[in-house]
Structure 1
Amino acid sequence: MSADLLAVLARPAPLVAPALIGWTLTHHSPDGSVTVELTETEAYAGQADPASHAWRGPTARNAVMFGPAGRLYVYLSHGLHYCANVVTGPEGAASAVLLRAGRVVGGVDLAQRRRGERVALRSLARGPGNLGQALALTRQHNGADLLDGGSLVLAPPTRPPAAVSSGPRVGVSRASEWRWRYWLTGDPTVSAYRRGRVVGDDPVDPLDVGW
């Protein structure tokens, strides 16, 4: 099974990002296990993408992005939140999919304690920093293999999502118009900014930016 999943992830990030909607990411920690079903993702295409951490080439921070696919790339955002990305593409190409939001479908009580008792259920993993906190991810998880059956497990859904929409990326100053953000259409766990269209009408072709 892991070889089949690796083949899915070894494609360019703009192709993997919508495919990851509905997948689950589980973290088995000493405190217990939490599972998040992904409802929003965002693609970053490495050195072909001016908004990517790897745009200017390899560094100590972004080294995991250069592969192999199926690893977790974790970074600290604004000194506050740990954000998680699934590394994609062929080894050496440096691409990743940011996990922007999800629905906690396992370990809800533990996720609630991590996020705060007053946080609404739909908001437990709504936003990349909140998703990282709900799963208790830190830099120590940077580079973890998501397909080897370890403490972090990425798994496909039993059936595809009903509909996936796309729109411009959020929180980037460069190439923000690229419609590489994808979400489960109409789902309440998705970020509030949802301007976009259903996938299939997306005018951005990954081949246009160097793939």
Structure 2
Amino acid sequence: MKEFPNGIVPLPQDFYEQPTLEMAKAMLGCLLVKETHQGIAAGYIVETEAYIGPDDRAAHSYNYRRTARTEIMFHRSGLAYTYLMHTHCLFNVVSGGEEKPEAILVRALEPRYGIDLMKTRRGIGELKNLTNGPGKLTKALGITMEDYGCSLTHPPVYLAKGFYPESISVGKRIGIENTGDAKDLPWRFWITNSQYVSRHQKSENVVNLNP
């Protein structure tokens, strides 16, 4: 696993200007960092899902649906889109640019910094299950609805340089069965063979980044 020598360096705004599908892949291996009064907690992103509204029936912004919840999706790229599903807060990165409501869900992390703090927050000790789900990782890192709309180029929540995956796998998104043809779109990306992904399933394609 390759790590950058200069420590935690937030990614610049330019990173977030990529097309959504490209950024969903580029986010793999990046650090997701949350700073709180309790300390820093961070993990390498190992799994993402892209949502490209308004034509994506699985997206909250499908058909330009603009509500109090989705409002931030219509703003510039590189902002945090958090929302509640049942009792869980889920974390997304706004993409697509202004008035193009798209976002990328972070589904799973490989724990890296503040692991003891994450274990305390989750109440578990097993590293493999600490952040292997979108609700698990937000609780472990301390990401909440208060982070809605935050810029991701600086604290308290941000993406930073991490490592380059050797290969990524591509497949269908999870948990969107009632969305027509959208359920079959191959817009889920994960680091091949990572033990920290939220769900292991057969990939439709594997992209070797370092052949």
Taking structure 1 as the reference length, the TM-score comes to: 0.87
1:39 matched to 2:46 = yes
Q: C-alpha separation between the residues in 1 aligned to 2:20 and 2:205?
A: 18
Structure 1 residue 10: Cα displacement = 1.8
The 5-angstrom pairing of residues 1-211 of structure 1 reads 5-57=12-64, 58-78=66-86, 80-118=87-125, 120-147=126-153, 149-157=154-162, 159-172=163-176, 173-174=178-179, 175-200=182-207
The answer as to whether partners of 1:87 and 1:97 remain within 8 angstroms in 2 is yes
Structure 1 residue 7: Cα displacement = 2.6
Q: C-alpha separation between the residues in 2 aligned to 1:76 and 1:44?
A: 16
The answer as to whether partners of 1:12 and 1:45 remain within 8 angstroms in 2 is no
Amino acid at match of 1:135: L
| Divergent runs of 4+, >4 A | none
Q: C-alpha separation between the residues in 2 aligned to 1:194 and 1:91?
A: 34
Q: C-alpha separation between the residues in 1 aligned to 2:102 and 2:206?
A: 21
Q: C-alpha separation between the residues in 1 aligned to 2:115 and 2:18?
A: 32
Q: C-alpha separation between the residues in 2 aligned to 1:72 and 1:134?
A: 17
Q: C-alpha separation between the residues in 2 aligned to 1:6 and 1:190?
A: 27
Q: C-alpha separation between the residues in 1 aligned to 2:98 and 2:77?
A: 7
Q: Secondary structure at the match of 1:16?
A: helix
The answer as to whether partners of 2:169 and 2:192 remain within 8 angstroms in 1 is yes
The answer as to whether partners of 1:44 and 1:96 remain within 8 angstroms in 2 is yes
Distance 1:109 1:200, change over 3 A: closer
Q: C-alpha separation between the residues in 2 aligned to 1:139 and 1:101?
A: 18
Q: C-alpha separation between the residues in 2 aligned to 1:182 and 1:44?
A: 12
Q: C-alpha separation between the residues in 1 aligned to 2:170 and 2:16?
A: 19
Amino acid at match of 2:40: S
Q: Secondary structure at the match of 1:122?
A: helix
The answer as to whether partners of 1:84 and 1:98 remain within 8 angstroms in 2 is yes
1:161-198 Cα offsets, whole Å, 9 max, x none, are 11100100000121111000000100100122322133
Q: C-alpha separation between the residues in 2 aligned to 1:10 and 1:96?
A: 12
The answer as to whether partners of 2:192 and 2:206 remain within 8 angstroms in 1 is no
Structure 1 residue 200: Cα displacement = 4.5
**Which ranges in structure 1 are unaligned for 5 or more consecutive residues?**
202-211
Q: May I ask how many residue pairs the two structures share in their alignment?
A: 196
